[in-house]
Amino acid sequence: MMKVSCIYLVVGLSAVVAQTTILRLPLFHGIFYDLLIPLVVFLSLNLPNREGIFVVVILGLIMDLISGGIFGLYLSIYFWIFLWVKSLTKFFDVGDTLFQSVLIGVCVLAQHLIFFISLSVPWTEAQSLAVQMTPVLSQTIIAALTGPVILLLLGRLLTRLQRLSGVPRETGDIAIR
């Protein structure tokens, strides 16, 4: 199963490269969200805890190193999203597409709120919050619309990897196929 984790590390690194190069072009400015959030949600739904946390920590560290912001911010956001979604699987049917849309949208919105709180002093930056509302809402809506499609594609990749390696599915948290 470690091969699957390595494949998802490569997928995550590809998403990091895409969002730090291609999606930074002026054409895509303010439209696309953090593409690792659907991957973190997928990992928490489909991989065992040990392997999922391993991939999430590595991807979080890479994003922290590339972003140049507060070190550990991406790592902690991805880690808490992983744990939060893992705990939600015990109470909700997370296989529902509508629930996945809302879940990814809420995760993107929470990431933006954490960024705003950690990178500014709230009482001096009240006007910047109003300026940021339009991009944040548009990214949240786009995340809610595209997130389940990304989860479906990642699920198909997992199914093919498991067929190739002959490893049975270890977690029964969700039935994305």
Query: Is 97 contained in some domain?
Result: yes
Cβ pair 101, 140 in contact under 8 A:
no
Q: Provide the domain limits for residue 45.
A: 2-165
pLDDT at position 177 is 40
Query: Is 172 contained in some domain?
Result: no
Domain tally, the chain: 1
Query: Is 66 contained in some domain?
Result: yes
Query: Is 173 contained in some domain?
Result: no
In the predicted structure, residue 34 carries a pLDDT above the cut 50 = yes
What is the 8-class DSSP label of residue 50?
A: H
pLDDT at position 125 is 54
In the predicted structure, residue 175 carries a pLDDT above the cut 60 = no
Query: What's the rounded Cα separation, in Å, for the pair 8 and 157?
Result: 9
Query: Is 171 contained in some domain?
Result: no
Show the tokens assigned to 105: 């949208």
Higher pLDDT, 47 or 132: 47
Mention every residue, 6+ apart, whose C-beta is less than 8 A from residue 166: none
In which band, very low, low, confident or very high, does the pLDDT at 20 lie, cut at 50, 70 and 90? confident
pLDDT per residue as tens digits for the range 116-148: 888 766 555 555 666 677 788 888 898 999 998
In which band, very low, low, confident or very high, does the pLDDT at 69 lie, cut at 50, 70 and 90? confident
Higher pLDDT, 101 or 30: 101
* pTM score of the predicted model: 0.83
Query: Is 122 contained in some domain?
Result: yes
Query: Is 52 contained in some domain?
Result: yes
